[in-house]
Amino acid sequence: MHFSVKVPGADQAGILEVKSPYSGDVVGTVASVDSAGVEQALNTSFSLYQKRNQWLPAARRAAILERMATLMEQRAEQLIAAAVAEGGKPYRDTQAELMRAIDGVKNCRECLRSESGREVPMQLNAASAGRLAFTHREPIGPVVAISAFNHPLNLIVHQIGPAIAAGCPVIVKPAEKTPLSAFLLVDLLREAGLPEAWCQPLVTENLTVAEALATDSRVAFLSFIGSAEVGWRLRSKLAPGTRCALEHGGAAPVIVADDADLDAMLPLLLKGAFYHAGQVCVSVQRIFAQRPIARDLAERLAHGAGELRVGDPANADTDVGPLIRPEAVERIDAWVNQALEAGADCLTGGKRMSEVLYPPTVLFDPDTASRVSREEIFGPVVCIYPYDTLDEAISRANDTPFAFQAAVMTRDIDTALYAYHHLQASSVMLNDHTAFRVDWMPFAGLKQSGYGVGGIPYTFREMQNEKMLVFHSAALR
């Protein structure tokens, strides 16, 4: 299957070849745009927003989103095939991602019914006598969405779906490794009835042009999902008044007490650590296990990891596919070797399988100064550390520049609540893995892990202004 994409209404600057991360074969091509193409897209979005009498009514937006969900269901295999081909996530996991994305579109539609303004109390004193006040939500303005490669269907839905529901024109720049899914989704939106100008997908010819897109003064809201280095730099360069949400990564910790039900917890840890080859911003990376059970847990986890099938993501029985690029395999291999040289015990994996495949790897007690202990590895590697006291485990779990989702596994309510209270995290999962998520819950990185709150209803609110109207009338006295 081969996909070829042009950018409607814009002159192309070049052609980007999209390659399979597994085979290296070209699976599609996308036309890129230069600064002139970006200027055209920004001008289109800004002009559209300025014409308030041409804003899309809420009923029309709701109908478009409803038809979009239906079209995604009907074209499921095409969307899955494109995402597997360009992103390398195994078929079963991509199928699950698509189901989430469809539900996400429905969630965006539901926001139009469930999210609204509010009454502001008046007539409480002499100054507010004879007054009635309420707020109404309006679209914030042009949105620029810059996305990541690891969930090419669901992340795009999380960025453009709320923008469309909120009534904002949106420009979406998918990751250059996985642009096909985004263009297919936008095609479906247009088939569902969205005028072309309201959602413009594009790929820029270089990072300089992408930065100019994000930092232009006409952008009202920047939605960025990607590396912390790029995200924080873009935020520092945003035009005055531009709001933003940044979603970066972390080194997610799990604390496992010696009373935890390991039979029930092991499948969760395996899934949380090795889903999409660990290329998930809240993937299980650091497990702090109470000393009496630490080695047993590590060995049982290693046994499970060793049974996972690694290979072609298009095969229905593959559990772990390729890394997105060969450079990622080289980096992961270097970090693991550093940990081994510093005394870590490798219980399974630890050696690259090919230029693009790295096996599920379990390291026991790596040095706390190792990169696998302090930085986001973004690969299929999990580390287990013995601990003696809960305070020790919490201190070590918190000792990174990241704070996103964390987990604690225990049958004791006091242990659970103590860990919840003291862990530096935006969400703490009890007896679940750190990568658990449903798309209507808040999803937020703290410290260097991000800025703002994700989750479809929260993004929907962020992409709107709350505007107040105050009535002053003698009839209200």
For 157-196, what is each residue's pLDDT tens digit? 999 999 999 999 999 999 999 999 999 999 999 999 999 9
Fold of 252-430: Aldehyde Dehydrogenase; Chain A, domain 2 (3.40.309)
Name the amino acid, one letter, at 89.
Answer: K
Q: What is the mean pLDDT of the chain?
A: 96
Q: Which among 263, 257, 358 is positioned nearest to 304, based on CA atoms?
A: 263
Task: For residue 94, give the H/E element and its range.
Answer: helix 91-114
| Environment class of 132 (CB within 10 Å of its CB; exposed 0-12, middle 13-18, buried 19+) | middle
Name the amino acid, one letter, at 10.
Answer: A
CA 289/CA 292 separation, integer angstroms: 8
pLDDT at 13: 73
pLDDT at 3: 65
Provide the residue ranges of all domains of the chain, joining segments of one domain with +.
3-247+449-469, 252-430
Q: Which phi and psi (to 5°) does residue 452 adopt?
A: 85, 180
Structure tokens at 107: 């969630």
Residue spans of the chain under pLDDT 50: none
CATH topology identical between 3-247+449-469 and 252-430: no
Structure tokens at 313: 């993501």
Active site amino acids: 247, 281
pLDDT at 14: 87
Say what the pTM is: 0.94
CATH number of this structure's domain 3-247+449-469, picked from the four choices 3.40.605.10, 3.90.420.10, 1.10.150.120, 3.30.870.10: 3.40.605.10
Q: Tens of pLDDT along 290-346?
A: 999 999 999 999 999 999 999 999 999 999 999 999 999 999 999 999 999 999 999
